[in-house]
Amino acid sequence: MKTTGNATAGSAVQMIVRKLSGVVMVLALLAPAVAGAQDKDTDKDKATTSPNAGKKIIFERVVAVINDAIILRSELEARMVPVLGEAQQIADLKERERRIEKLRSQVLDEMVSEELIVQAGEAAKIEVESAEVQAALDEIKSSNNLDDAALAQVLAAQGYTLANYKQDLRRQILRLRAVNQLVAPKVQITDEDIRARYDQMQRRSEAVSAVKLSHILFKLPEHPTEQQLAEAKDRAAKAMARITAGEEFAKVAGELSDDVSTKATGGELGYFQRGSMANPEWEPIVFSMDKGDTRGPVNGPQGLHVFHVTEVQNSNVKPFAEMKEQLSRELRRKEMDKQTQTWLEDLRKKAYIDIKLQ
């Protein structure tokens, strides 16, 4: 597949250290590094000949070309390591392979975006000094209680070298710096924007301190197939259609819900205070609903849910003067994400990208 086409507080080093704190994150950081001391200066597949079988064995392959850069299969597979755990537990072999291939495609897409940002940073003459890379490395070792020997051991266990690791650190700092210098100046937040956001808070979700919630659960196994997921979505859509047509939520829940502990009471779950939900991803949905609202399907660990709010408790929002700085940061962060995505899309349109994933 071919296609053509105000800085964050603290130094770039401090930013990357915060992102990489924890041993787990150190291990995850190792994944993007190039395995061993591989040479990225060629875009040709490499092969070796077995002296025993006399057969040609391909042990390296290019999976993407981005302008004049390449991504090797070994780099992609190393990057896959931290995200494979759940997929590898899927019992159905066909479904497991499908899920892994989907993950592989998503990870490669992320790597292409990262390479485009690095190239944009280099084109803009943005530099990262060796001392900055060493400072980030020292901070990572310190925060994870690793000395040189321990770090070397971790790297070796993953098949990486210190030189590769430092190179990846340099690229990550360069990406952060490129976004801060090339995208952040485009972000403009006015006092009018902040006031509008504050007024919205007073009217809607942030003014809600608690909700009384009911649900309909459509259970799914831990690793559902596409067919099972499609069937659950169809059941949820039919439930939503009945409720939208005027049927009582409690009646539909009693008939359709797979939650045996609540279906007898119409799916009632009780009151939830802000910050108390078992799944934090549900909160932006539930706390933006008004009394009588029904929404779904919503993903959860047990399957798909249809939520219904029967009562809403409001709380007082702090005065504007106390909230202004917080709201400014929130709006700036959201606008930064938006501008970064737009910038990346533009980079992709202007780039030569050849995906060779098979």
- Residue spans per domain, the chain: 2-182+334-355, 198-314
Residue 220 CA to residue 229 CA, distance in Å, equals 7
Residue 178 CA to residue 163 CA, distance in Å, equals 22
Give every CB contact of residue 228 below 8 A, 6+ residues apart in sequence. Answer: 220, 221
Taking alpha carbons only, the member of 267, 237, 241 closest to residue 255 is 267
DSSP string, 270-339: EEEETT--SSGGGHHHHTTPPTT-EEEEEEETTEEEEEEEEEEEE-PPPPHHHHHHHHHHHHHHHHHHHH
Q: What is the pTM assigned to this prediction? A: 0.62
Give the pLDDT of residue 207.
Answer: 64
| Model pLDDT for residues 158-180, shown as the tens digit of each residue | 667 888 888 889 999 999 999 99
- pLDDT for 217 beyond 90: yes
What's the average model confidence in pLDDT over 69-91?
Answer: 85
> What whole-number percentage of the chain has pLDDT above 70?
81
Give the pLDDT of residue 65.
Answer: 95
**CB 72 within 8 Å of CB 61:** yes
Structure tokens at 58: 């391909």
DSSP string, 33-96: SPSBT---S--S-EEEE-TTT--EEEEE-EEEEETTEEEEHHHHHHHHGGG-TTGGG-SSHHHH
**What is the CATH T-level fold of the domain 198-314, as seen in this structure?**
Chitinase A; domain 3 (3.10.50)
**What is the CATH T-level fold of the domain 2-182+334-355, as seen in this structure?**
Triger factor/SurA peptide-binding fold (1.10.4030)
